[in-house]
Amino acid sequence: MKKHNFYAGPSILPEYTIKNTADAVLNFAGTGLSVMEVSHRGKEFVAVMDEAQALFKELLNIPDNYEVLFLGGGASTQFCMVPYNLMKKKAAYLNTGAWAAKAQKEAGFFGEVVEVASSKDANYNYIPKGYEIPADADYFHITTNNTIYGTEIKEDLDVNVPLVADMSSDIFSRPIDVSKYAVIYGGAQKNLAPAGVTFVIVKKDILGQTGRAIPTMLDYRTHADKGSMFNTPPVLPVFAALQTLKWLKEQGGIAAMQKKNEEKAAVLYDEIDRNKLFKGTARKEDRSLMNICFVMNEEYAELEKEFLDFATERGMIGIKGHRSVGGFRASTYNALPLESVKALVETMQEFEKKH
């Protein structure tokens, strides 16, 4: 039976990425050695790092005055690296979910944090609008896609201070205007690579302005100056990321991915809205294209476990909602084919007929 992988992260990767990475684990670039055991200073891996950074810039049309970094520590380490490198006195944060709240908490160690708006009052089921950003904030931080609650900011905001975005779960899912951001970062384990590498896109001229001493490993300039090779990078995940970047280019680039993602999301949301057993949890105008969250309608609440078992038996993997919210979550990242979404829809329809 075919397995349909809806895990939220680590999550589905393109077959292209998995096969090429598996081959390199056995024999990397004709060296006769595994990619897991070669020197990161060897010419073969240096070429991988250079190509990955170049392709990252090409696919997102990143301007010349930005650096692309591949680091360790996950997006969670970026929660402190951002204020360490950017905050002089004050930063503004938009609280749209658990990860946004964690980022905001870390910033509190470095200065004043202004929460410009929050959707916590409605269990984060919408994206706040019409808030005001303090003109004297050193930056404004947003989390573009909220994996737990299924909401997403789908456009590049125009703001009057440097904009910082955690795009862990929706990078490469739609075109973005990088020039509107000071920093974009994310864990790679959703749309790019296996867990273990973190990407950071940082505008060069924003660095070195805080006046504070920054520990070497937490200073973006350290990694920018050394091409992400100041210390040993996560070699295997960087190699896998390069394969995904090549695959994205083969698919027609980011605009083509957006079209596919919109189609997949529409198919599943249409079924959630039609099916008497289910209902979506996020407000329609803020629904995520990457993490589609839904629950049983109140009168069918007792069927939740039965549906989960029913779907799992039919090859639907990873659709259980986050433990903090329950229900169901289908993550429809770039690598998930439309056929998997259609298979889930058929499963929902079959379950509806049963009841």
- Please list the active-site residues: 99, 166, 190
| DSSP output for 321-338 | PPTTT-SEEEE--TTS-H
Give the number of other Cβ atoms within 10 Å of residue 173's Cβ. Answer: 26
Amino acid identity, residue 147? T
- The crossing angle, in degrees rounded to 10, of helices 15-26 and 235-250 is 140
Alpha-carbon span 334 to 12, nearest angstrom: 9
DSSP element (H, E) containing 68: strand 66-71
Alpha-carbon span 195 to 7, nearest angstrom: 13
Q: Which residue has the tokens 């490993």?
A: 217
Asked whether 213 and 195 are in contact (CB, 8 A), the reply is: no
Structure tokens at 104: 């905001």
| DSSP output for 162-208 | -EEEE-TTTTTSS---GGG-SEEEEESTTTTSSTT-EEEEEEGGGTT
Asked whether 178 and 66 are in contact (CB, 8 A), the reply is: yes
